[in-house]
Amino acid sequence: MEILWFLMALALLTAVLVPFLRRGRGGGGIQLVSPDAPDAADPASYGFLLQEQLDVRMPGPDTDLVDVLDVVRGTQDWRAASQLLAGTGAEGERRWQRVQAFAGSASLELQQRPGGTGGAGAGAQWLRSWRTDAPKDAGGAAVQAEFLVQQAFRTATPGTDEFRIILEEARAACGQAALLAPGDPVPYVIELSIARGLGYSRPEFEQLWLKILDRAPAHMGAHLAALHYWGEKWHGSRELAHSFAEAAAARAPRGSLLSALPLFAVYQHLPELALVNDFYGTEVVRNAIEGALFAAHSARPDDPMLPHVRHLLVFFLVRSERWGEAMQQLVHVDGHVGAMPWTVAADPAADYAVYRALAVAGYEANGGSPATLPR
């Protein structure tokens, strides 16, 4: 699944050279040069972290979450996770992101230490204990539901009996979490991915969507999950996904990140759209970028979904050769790479580092320097 910023295991870094993009000052096109060349731009001169220092676990900083993840993984005691979720309000996006992070941590542990029976296996024993010791803990039920969703999309083939069985178990966990916390939109947001995997009919999906709108009408994470449903070929299309994104952006309240949703819709269908000549210069892409820039500018600085928008902007701004604007986004997000588009790569840190290097090189090739970059 693409939406989510779950914990991922990094392979050892093997690349020793990263190509840098250089664009002639006269607009004479694009060329690649080695970072060892005398005029190669250096991202470190802008205060950017080394590739091996980049945190792939989340899109932006969340110190409390990092501390609790370390405690849970180190002690296999679920209570710190329960306390953090209990103290995280249901009205915003942060609870959903933290549920995803705990589920991702459990999934990664299971991948690293498989074995045993009953879901969590030898790894992530803390999640099994959480559900056994506190069956009425709404946070634990939500984490289990998200864990099962991630397991289904990671380990099973869509359409198989195994895939359906895991998602049906996840749906049951969502129902339990919803009963334990009636006002919490998170169980329903998790179910959106189940709807995509099980192929809910449109009436079924719309009924689920209404439950989310009743609880959190401007929930960016929910809209991203719904966008994937509308873009699936067996019950949606690229046109439906774009219509959904445009409608959400049009009714977005001031300060909402929903104005960035069309850019996510473009990215979702990038392989088929990119066949268009000069795709990144088309009106569709320009308008989507401008909407996302507006959203990033008007959103609260502490909005937990803002780094997701900024990371995607880096990707599109670099592809569009808008170096200065890409650098302004990098200043805000550098250090964390747990977001699309990097998380769909085998090595998110390496993929991000390439785009960062391209942005720095293009910025300097057009007269920029560390001294001229606004912060």
Q: Nearest CA to 262 among 276, 278, 282, 277? A: 282
Query: What interhelical angle do 283-298 and 261-268 show, nearest 10?
Result: 140
Question: CB count, 10 Å around CB of 335?
Answer: 13
pLDDT tens, residue by residue, 307-365: 999 999 999 999 999 999 999 999 999 999 999 999 989 899 999 999 999 999 999 99
Q: Nearest CA to 306 among 321, 290, 293? A: 293
User: What local confidence, expressed as pLDDT, does residue 24 receive?
Assistant: 31
User: What local confidence, expressed as pLDDT, does residue 173 receive?
Assistant: 97
Measure CA 340 to chain center.
5
User: What local confidence, expressed as pLDDT, does residue 305 receive?
Assistant: 95
Q: Nearest CA to 58 among 1, 7, 109? A: 7
pTM: 0.84
Euclidean distance between CA atoms 276 and 93, whole angstroms: 35
What sections of 199-273 are H helices per DSSP?
A: 202-215, 220-231, 238-250, 261-268, 270-273
Cβ neighbours for 244, distance < 8 A, ≥ 6 positions apart = 226, 227, 230, 265
DSSP code of residue 55:
B
Q: Nearest CA to 253 among 290, 212, 301, 220? A: 220
**Domains of the chain with bracketed CATH:** 54-196 (1.25.40), 249-375 (no CATH)
User: What local confidence, expressed as pLDDT, does residue 235 receive?
Assistant: 59
pLDDT tens, residue by residue, 262-298: 999 999 988 666 666 788 888 999 999 999 999 999 9
User: What are the pLDDT tens digits along the chain (375 aa)?
Assistant: 333 333 332 222 222 222 323 333 233 333 444 444 444 568 889 999 999 999 988 899 999 999 999 999 999 999 999 999 999 998 789 999 999 999 999 998 988 887 643 444 467 899 999 999 999 999 999 999 999 999 999 999 999 999 999 999 999 999 999 999 999 999 999 999 999 999 999 999 999 999 999 999 999 999 999 999 998 755 568 889 999 999 999 999 989 999 999 999 999 988 666 666 788 888 999 999 999 999 999 999 999 999 999 999 999 999 999 999 999 999 999 999 999 999 989 899 999 999 999 999 999 999 999 999 988
The per-residue b/e assignment along 129-149, b for 16 or more CB within 10 angstroms, e otherwise, is bbbeeeeebbbbbbbbbbbbb
The DSSP bridge partners found for residue 31 are: 22
Query: What interhelical angle do 348-365 and 306-319 show, nearest 10?
Result: 60
